[in-house]
Amino acid sequence: MSYRDGLTALRRRRAEGVPLDRREIELRFATLRGGSFDDPDLFVAFADVFNAVCAPAHITFVPQRDRCRIDFDKKQLQFSGELRSAAGDVIGVIERILDFEVGIAWHSRIIVNKRFRDVGIAAILLEHSLRFYQAVELPEVQLTAALTTGPYYWAKLGFQFADAADSAAVQHWFARVNAKLALGLDCVSERPPRDWLLIGADDGCTCTLGMIASAFPSERASIETRAKDNRIGLDEQIPVGKAILLSGPKWRGRLPATRRSISFVQTYVRARLDRAAVLLRTPAEKNPSEPDEPLD
């Protein structure tokens, strides 16, 4: 069977909801062995394989030639490229390394165009990816929750701290904010990122990002940018735990590719899926008003 025939069969199985198994996917990737991305046919094959097994509905992957690698000795697949909507618009850029030797999918980067924000694009990609990782026996996803939205966003989707040092960095920032703002809160013991979002959510203990920015002048510019990118006013009262994640340090996160993780992310996705589907099928205006920005 040629790889194109195989991909056609794979797409049909996917459309029918038939689960993929690792052997099938390995056979598809094996067609790329020994080739070069200077070969147009091989380059197209790479995109076809990715779209067949990775891309959610209404999203297509367009590889970036010099950033895509397949290392069969190390059992690694590295890819980077554009994500495009069914309407042909650029959604953003994605970069990942799938390491079958150590069993980790490294989510290096995702950049989402502002037009596609607030409809759960990253969560939709994550849910679909987790299902794929289960099929190919990659047990874990790792990333760095950084930049302006990552520490808060990835906590919402259930990522855990990669190790104690990441947890300690957030606890240290909490202690500093707690002391500077005289919040009078008890010291927080080690807890997963999502639990930080619960601090102040139930008991009404809130603060503003503006208060934190005033208390830490050296961090003001960064905090103001984070507030803007997360669409939160500097004077808006938000739960303390949310403020800690939004203003605090980056952290390395991990998420097991399990049914529980998929179910958790799926709950987040469901509330946004209809809006996302409409947006992905609707062509953008000729002059988009806002540039692309990082999400991770």
Range from 1-10, 135-144, 156-165, 271-280 carrying the lowest mean pLDDT: 1-10
Please report which helix (H) or strand (E) contains residue 111, including its range.
Answer: strand 104-113
Round the average pLDDT of the chain to a whole number and report it.
81
> How many CA atoms are closer than 13 Å to the CA of 116, on its beta-carbon side?
32
**pLDDT tens digits, 214-270:** 999 999 999 999 999 889 999 999 999 999 999 999 999 999 999 999 999 999 888
pLDDT at residue 124 tops 50: yes
Reported as a pLDDT band with limits 50, 70 and 90, residue 167 is: very high
pTM, two decimals, is 0.79
Reported as a pLDDT band with limits 50, 70 and 90, residue 120 is: confident
Q: What is the pLDDT of residue 200?
A: 86
Q: Which is nearest to 117 in space by CA: 290, 261, 266, 270? A: 290
Please report which helix (H) or strand (E) contains residue 240, including its range.
Answer: helix 240-247
pLDDT at residue 125 tops 50: yes
CA distance 15 to 56: 11
CA distance 251 to 260: 22
The full set of domain ranges for the chain reads 3-139+257-294, 164-251
CA distance 14 to 149: 32
pLDDT at residue 171 tops 80: yes
Q: What is the CA radius of gyration of the chain?
A: 21
pLDDT at residue 20 tops 90: no
pLDDT at residue 180 tops 70: yes
Q: Show the tokens assigned to 40.
A: 């147009």
Task: Identify whether the C-beta of residue 227 lies closer than 8 Å to the C-beta of residue 149.
Answer: no
